[in-house]
A and B are shown apart, each in its own frame.
Chain A
Amino acid sequence: MSIPALSINDLHKSFGPAHIIRGVTLDIEPGERHAIIGPNGAGKSTLFNLISGGYHPSKGSIKLRGEEIGGMKPFKINRKGLSRSFQVSNIFSNMTVRENVRCGVLYSMGYGYGFLRNVGNLHDVQRKTAEILESVDLLDKANLPAALLPYADQRTLEIAITIAGGADVIMLDEPTAGMSHSETERAVALIKQATEGKTLLIVEHDMGVVFNLADRISVLVYGEIIATGKPTEIRGNEKVREAYLGDEADAIEGDAA
């Protein structure tokens, strides 16, 4: 058995008296596309922040390709090849689209904190930036200020920055939130293409997206994973139905139909 790309073991997180993550255990294989679903307030964002270094775990371990990363600073984790996007667009709004992507590229290409090179002359960076923009179909908007992009494009840019550094574990936090139906379709296609061969961990509310993208799904409820399995297994799971009441339960069934 290969080393899992991401391995979480008995992870806990408390904020004061509030015990948000209560013992999550999860292994994600290399190349797997894994979705985390769950009702609002289940702790999905907290889990994301724990993995990507935003929060310090209260207990438990997080291993990236067998190496412990729990409690590491985000930039260290990022350098080890794990990159994440944000639920709310978190871009450099004073910069152009091209510069945004370039920020994502620079470190991975070894330019780090360099102060002796003109970024305009770094042809490998230029080329990589262009490739990324090409792959997310933002090339024609490359020189627009990011703040002026339409919402869906900002979400796309968010993904572009996330994949720009070439990380092989990608975490996307509700990448299609707030998008129209056609925009969502395009986004899903884009995600599929851009994360080809990479490990993907995604949090998503849109069940269509989830069942379309994911190889496996975990259901997080009140800080605990109540089920993990292939999409078909999850659909049939009784506990999942209980956790999802009303509309959302229908959504699962509807998609199952």
Chain B
Amino acid sequence: MSNVATNSVNVLGPTGSEKFMRRIMPLIALAVVLAVIPVFGPSRTVYSLLNAMGVNIVFAMSYNMLLGRAGLLSFGHAVYFGLGGYAAVHAMGAIEAASYGDGGFWASYPVFFLPVVGFAGGALAGAVIGWPSCRRAGTPFAMISLGVAELIAAAGFMFGSIFGGEEGVSGDRMNGPELFGLSLGPIEEVYWFIAFWTFIGVLGTYAFTRTPLGKMSEATRDNPERVEFVGYDPQKVRYLVFIFSGGFAGLAGGMAAVNYEIFTPEALSLAPSGMVLLMAYIGGIRYFAGPILGAILLTYMQSMMSDYSEAWLLYLGLLFIVIVMFAPGGLAGIFVGLFSGLRGEDAGENFRRWAVQVAGIVLMMIGIITLVEVSVHWSNNYGEVFHPFGVQLPHDGVLTWAVIFIPFVAGVGILRMAHKNKEGQA
């Protein structure tokens, strides 16, 4: 019996090479990408964007430990990001004071490792707030997180000695012992710091999914009742996951503290909490890499799209609603679907169908974007006119409304047809 069982262990689970391809390769790929980026000599803008993305990636990953992996919808995750960040920024101050003062522990603490302080801060906050919050999942959890976030955000503005009032607490990252020859002054050096911790953050959140606790968190998400009957307390599972999630959010906060050298009470408020929810969900909460995609896309949109259109928030809202309604798997889900569709037997058929769908979507988007842009330009009342590619589209022009309606109707029609065809085949 035991002999059989020992043999069958090998049959079970993925083989060594499968494991390597599925688990180790993506991490190596991530490391390579992170390491190769500077070769292209990015500008300061690109660097600062990359750094912001790194912070948001870790933040979104920590959020997905809750939403994706444990099924806990939080509206106040920025609390842990912010508290971790504040811990790190205060530690940065301590390093500065200690290195100009009488030394001590902080004098020998490298700024490079401040995210560890952030992790501790976030985890501690999670440990304190988590216990009452994690009693149940679902709506009560979401509501408690909302209430707690409101309270903490208000406290952020009230307690100036901790949160620095409106202008926040700032520090200088160029103090204390240097590590890896990085002074962390120029933004290129900060990039290495961010890249390192982004990798650690991704690795850490991934490793967590492989632990007994990580596995049980997924089990608790799917079936909390059953979990109780295999010896686990779902409340405790949630609580522990919550602490870790707070810790990784704090890690991201620590990264932000070094990157921006300042933390302000807004960091605790509902707005960044909403943003991280959007990142994770748009990226795809059921896929490990989903939040990474979401964080990259939304960071880019936030910092760059406002240059193109002041209605970027509207587009963001639309994107989110479309994802919720039609692609609950998020961007990652769409990619996975495309990829597996192209490898299947009827790849050609799939390809044709997608081409039609993409055409429909693009047409619809042309209509919607034109409508939004024309309205925005008109509603500003500065007499500005939307003029893409040199074409003037005033709000009262016939051409404008043609550009809005014809593609939109055509797009809707194509999508409907594609949908019907698919159903007809099925």
Contact = CB atoms under 8 A, between A and B. Distances in A.
Chains A and B come from one and the same complex: yes
A116 B19 CA distance: 19
A252 B207 CA distance: 56
A73 interface: yes
B215 A106 contact: yes
Contacts of B1: 131, 134
B315 interface: no
A79 interface: yes
A102 B207 CA distance: 18
A162 B225 CA distance: 13
A165 B231 contact: yes
Contact of B12 (A83, A117, A143): A143
Chain B CB within 10 Å — which of A53, A86, A126 has the most? A126
Interface string A88-100: 0011111100110
Contacts, number: 128
Interface string B5-48: 11011011100000100000000000000000000000000000
A164 interface: yes
A139 B1 CA distance: 13
Contacts of B208: 115
Given A117-B212, A119-B211, A120-B13, A74 B223 contact: no
Interface stretch (B187-195, B233-241, B271-279): B233-241
A78 interface: yes
A26 B69 CA distance: 42
Nearest to B7: A130
A131 B2 CA distance: 7
B211 A118 contact: yes
A95 B5 contact: no
A52 B12 contact: no
Nearest to A111: B212
Contact of B5 (A93, A107, A130): A130
B166 interface: no
Given A103-B230, A114-B211, A134 B8 contact: yes
Contacts of B236: 113
Interface in A157-207: 161-162, 164-165
A139 to B, nearest CB: 6
B214 interface: yes
Interface residues on A, range: 35 or more
B229 interface: yes
B229 A95 contact: no
Contact of B226 (A90, A106, A107): A90
B4 interface: yes
Given A98-B13, A118-B211, A92 B229 contact: no
Given A118-B210, A131-B5, A143 B13 contact: yes
B13 A117 contact: no
B159 interface: no
Contacts of A90: 223, 225-226
Contact of B207 (A93, A106, A118): A118
Chain A CB within 10 Å — which of B4, B9, B19 has the most? B9
Interface string A140-167: 0011000000000000000001101100
Nearest to A100: B219
B70 to A, nearest CB: 13
A112 interface: yes
Contacts of B213: 113-115
Contacts of B231: 75, 78-79, 107-108, 165
A117 B211 contact: yes
Contact of B214 (A112, A115, A164): A115
Nearest to B225: A90
B354 interface: no
Interface in A220-240: none
B96 interface: no
Nearest to A93: B222
A149 to B, nearest CB: 15
Interface string A52-95: 11000000000000000000011100110001101000111111
A164 B226 CA distance: 13
Contact of A107 (B13, B19, B230, B240): B230
B234 to A, nearest CB: 8
A16 B211 CA distance: 43
A4 B84 CA distance: 54
B215 A75 contact: no
B232 interface: yes
B228 interface: yes
B13 A161 contact: no
B211 A116 contact: yes
B227 interface: yes
Given A53-B228, A90-B225, A115-B244, A142 B12 contact: yes
B212 A113 contact: yes
Nearest to A122: B212
A218 interface: no
Nearest to A118: B210
Contacts of B230: 75, 78, 83, 103-104, 106-107, 161, 164-165
A129 B12 contact: yes
Nearest to B214: A115
Instruction: List 7 A-B pairs, minimum CB-CB distance, nearest first.
Output: A107-B231, A74-B228, A115-B213, A111-B212, A78-B231, A131-B5, A115-B211
Given A103-B215, A103-B216, 9 more contacts: A79-B231, A106-B212, A113-B213, A115-B213, A117-B211, A119-B215, A129-B12, A130-B8, A134-B4
Interface of A: 52-53, 73-75, 78-79, 83-84, 86, 90-95, 98-99, 102-104, 106-108, 111-120, 122-123, 126-127, 129-131, 133-134, 139, 142-143, 161-162, 164-165
